[in-house]
């Protein structure tokens, strides 16, 4: 397919595809899906080989958020039956992090619910970062604490944070439909603050919220403009008790196309499959490793993932290898641009929450259009088609941080 040859060439040259080309990827047919995966897989292997970076989430503070992000089980007024607790102590967080690191993770993502941290919260998290780094000097630490005020990114950096996560989540034009208590511009501002402080920026999206293909391409192009080192791709977990509980509109095939599109637009960036991997990709998860070079090990913030052991088996069975602590995640040119470290921080790179479920959250439209000439496939993708609600695959997290039970890692 001409489209895919063009996209592979561009991906290897780090050249931005056109919007029409990105839309055309989302509009490809199921008959072409393996070709799409193979093409984006070439780009992934060129920049990241067969390495899979494992990241581990520690939810420092769960639920009771005053913000109203519709996708989030921790939001204002959420009826989701999630764990609710206030700040973990540094030694509790360090213990949870140690479980993930022992399981093979090289990055720990410290996430807290809320609009943004107070200066006292930054102190707490700084103590936690120090406690984690005392136990394991090589670990990459990413903080995900919501909107940052002036000076807070610098203080986190001084405390040893390598990265900061804050997701854009969706397109600027639809952001107001998802959240009313802060703006898209607030989010962009926080990503820029992290960058400016020398933190590795991590910023991603959530797919499956009823957005169009145009929205998805918009947010991914906006992310490319922000130039994060890592891009977490969350697939909405439609939690019962949240406004988006009925938004079951993703298929494994759609998730693969989205990941392929992100890879083509952000070829040399750490693309991470975040929340919703097990729920939406299901048995197709191993194919997604040909597109993304990073996943979360074990559980998410408020929901359970598959067993950490199953994550490791999947990586090995699919012919990939877990990235070691001594290996540098990003391609050389990005590391040099960042001043020589693993993924921009002194030892590493970004994280997840941005939309507070996978990470980075605080944590379909028309396709071929002009691209029809090159695409040769699919037609339109207007409103996302309703899919079977797989509530049976959504398990609220009841173990690990904030409980007396051992974490999943
Ligand atoms: S995504 Fe973050 S800011 Fe938004 S409701 Fe959830 S915890 Fe609060």
Q: With pLDDT > 90 as the criterion, what percentage of the chain qualifies? A: 86
Output the average pLDDT for the chain.
90
Q: Dihedrals φ, ψ of 397, to 5°?
A: -65, 130
Site residues for ligand 1, CB cut-off 6 Å: 65, 67, 69, 72, 74-75, 113, 115, 146, 355-356, 361-363
Examine the residue annotation and report whether 266 is marked as an active-site residue of this protein. Answer: no
Position 359 scores a pLDDT of 43
Q: Dihedrals φ, ψ of 306, to 5°?
A: -70, 165
Q: Dihedrals φ, ψ of 249, to 5°?
A: -140, 20
Position 1 scores a pLDDT of 78
How far from 137 is each of 98, 197, 199, 214, CA to CA, in Å? 12, 21, 17, 43
Examine the residue annotation and report whether 142 is marked as an active-site residue of this protein. Answer: yes
The tens digit of pLDDT for each residue in 114-152 reads 999 999 999 999 999 999 999 999 999 999 999 999 999
Per annotation, catalytic residue among 44, 51, 75, 109 = 109
Neighbouring residues of 406: CB distance < 8 A, sequence distance ≥ 6: 99, 399, 400
Torsion angle (degrees, nearest 10) of CA 215, 220, 221, 224: 160
Domain extent listing, the chain: 2-393
109 among the known binding-site residues? yes
Position 335 scores a pLDDT of 86
Checking if the pLDDT of 230 tops 90, the result is yes
72 among the known binding-site residues? yes
What is the reported pTM? 0.91
Average pLDDT over residues 215-221: 98
The tens digit of pLDDT for each residue in 60-99 reads 999 999 999 999 999 999 999 999 999 999 999 999 999 9
CA-nearest residue, atom 3 of ligand 1: 362
How far is it, in rounded angstroms, from Cα 380 to Cα 28? 10
Position 347 scores a pLDDT of 31
Checking if the pLDDT of 21 tops 50, the result is yes
Name which of 94-103, 201-210, 328-337, 338-347 the model is least confident about: 338-347
Superfamily of domain 2-393: Aldolase class I (3.20.20.70)
């Amino acid at each position: 397919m001409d489209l895919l040859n063009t996209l592979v060439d561009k991906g290897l040259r780090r050249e931005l595809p056109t919007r029409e080309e990105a839309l055309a990827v989302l509009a490809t047919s199921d008959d072409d899906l393996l070709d799409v995966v193979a093409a984006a897989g070439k780009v992934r292997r060129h920049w990241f080989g067969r390495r899979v970076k494992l990241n581990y989430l520690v939810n420092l503070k769960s639920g009771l958020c005053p913000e109203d992000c519709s996708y989030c089980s921790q939001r204002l007024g959420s009826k989701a039956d999630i764990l609710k607790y206030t700040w973990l102590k540094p030694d509790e967080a360090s213990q949870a992090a140690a479980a993930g690191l022992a399981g093979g993770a090289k990055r720990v993502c410290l996430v807290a619910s809320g609009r943004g941290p107070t200066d006292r919260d930054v102190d707490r998290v700084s103590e936690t970062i120090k406690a984690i780094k005392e136990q394991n000097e090589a670990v990459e630490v990413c903080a995900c604490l919501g909107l940052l005020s002036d000076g807070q990114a610098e203080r986190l950096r001084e405390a040893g944070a390598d990265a900061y996560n804050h997701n854009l989540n969706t397109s600027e034009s639809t952001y107001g439909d998802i959240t009313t208590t802060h703006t898209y511009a607030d989010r962009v501002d926080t990503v820029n603050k992290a960058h400016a402080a020398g933190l590795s920026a991590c910023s991603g999206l959530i797919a499956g919220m009823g957005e169009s293909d145009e929205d998805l391409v918009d947010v991914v192009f906006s992310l490319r403009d922000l130039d994060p080192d890592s891009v977490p791709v969350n697939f909405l977990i439609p939690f019962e008790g949240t406004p988006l509980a009925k938004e079951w509109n993703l298929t494994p095939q759609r998730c693969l196309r989205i990941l392929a599109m992100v890879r083509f637009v952000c070829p040399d960036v750490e693309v991470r499959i975040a929340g919703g991997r097990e729920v939406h990709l299901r048995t197709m998860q191993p194919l997604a490793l040909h597109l993304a070079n990073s996943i979360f090990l074990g559980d998410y913030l408020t929901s359970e993932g598959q067993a950490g052991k199953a994550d490791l088996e999947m990586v090995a069975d699919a012919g990939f290898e877990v990235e070691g602590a001594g290996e540098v995640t990003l391609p050389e040119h990005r590391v040099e641009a960042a001043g020589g470290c693993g993924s921009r921080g002194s030892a590493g790179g970004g994280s997840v929450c941005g939309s507070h479920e996978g990470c980075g959250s605080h944590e379909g439209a028309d396709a071929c259009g002009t691209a029809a000439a090159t695409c040769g496939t699919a037609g339109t993708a207007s409103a996302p088609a309703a899919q079977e609600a797989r509530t049976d695959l959504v398990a609220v997290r009841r173990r690990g941080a904030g409980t007396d039970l051992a974490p999943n890692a």
